[in-house]
Amino acid sequence: MYKVEYDINDGSGRSVLYAQGGRMLGGNTAFAHFGSYRIVDGEIVASLRTRRHSPSPQRRSLVSADAVTINIRGRAKGEVYRFAGEVMEDAGSVFRAVMTPLGNEDVPPPGAVGEGGIVSGLYSIDIRMLDGLAGGHTGVMLLRQGRILGGDAFFYYLGAYSSANGRWKGEFVNQEHTPAKSEHPLFGGYEVGIGFSGRCDAGGAEMEAIALAGKRSIRLAATLKLIQPFADG
């Protein structure tokens, strides 16, 4: 699991990205990323597709369309990876990115997933505060064989779930990868533990949850929609 800081021509942004076994899956507040990579003579060669998952016009695209292909090449420098490349649909574009690892040693053991359990894959997540509280988050969540990874432009998630017969439940920790207090005062500055339960089907899931931010208990709900299934094997 990585934080990705990137520049496209005169714009910049941040995402979270899972990269392992030739696959890349991730995203941020408005866009999902999915693609593949291979190693050629010690260099990482990757191709990523982007797709908008949040319709908000305030979260503008840095490229010419909401769905594009980005081809990049790069190498590791210690634990950090540096890439350069281009947006294929935008002639003359320059894309640069830095990938930094995020708390991979803190991922908990996976939960059990049985028949009728939630599908492994990359999901969009739309989080809504309850009890009259203002605010919310959109991002991406990767569910794979009982483990939760994900995040957005400010936070990342690590956790575990269990699921069967159209139900699921679990816990994850929401942590900052970039200071967020000014943008998200409820969760910014805290390591937030979130326990949840809800329903799921082949296309997505719902959850109701309790989040503990410092000494404050916050009720929230979220909707997940499947963007890209994760085919193991």
Q: Are residues 96 and 109 in the same domain?
A: no
Residues 111, 88 share a domain: no
54 and 120 co-located in one domain: no
Same domain, 60 and 110: no
Q: Assess whether 50 and 88 both reside in one domain.
A: yes
φ/ψ (deg, to 5) at 142: -100, 120
- Structural domain boundaries enclosing 6: 2-101
**Closest alpha carbon to 22 in 37, 34, 9:** 37
Per the structure, the count of domains in the chain is: 2
Single-letter code of the amino acid located at 5: E
pLDDT tens for each residue of the chain, 233 residues long? 999 999 988 889 999 999 999 999 999 999 999 999 999 999 999 999 999 998 765 555 677 788 899 999 999 999 999 999 999 988 888 999 999 999 777 788 999 999 999 999 999 999 999 999 988 889 999 999 999 999 999 999 999 999 999 999 999 999 999 999 888 888 999 999 999 999 999 999 999 999 999 999 999 999 999 999 987 64
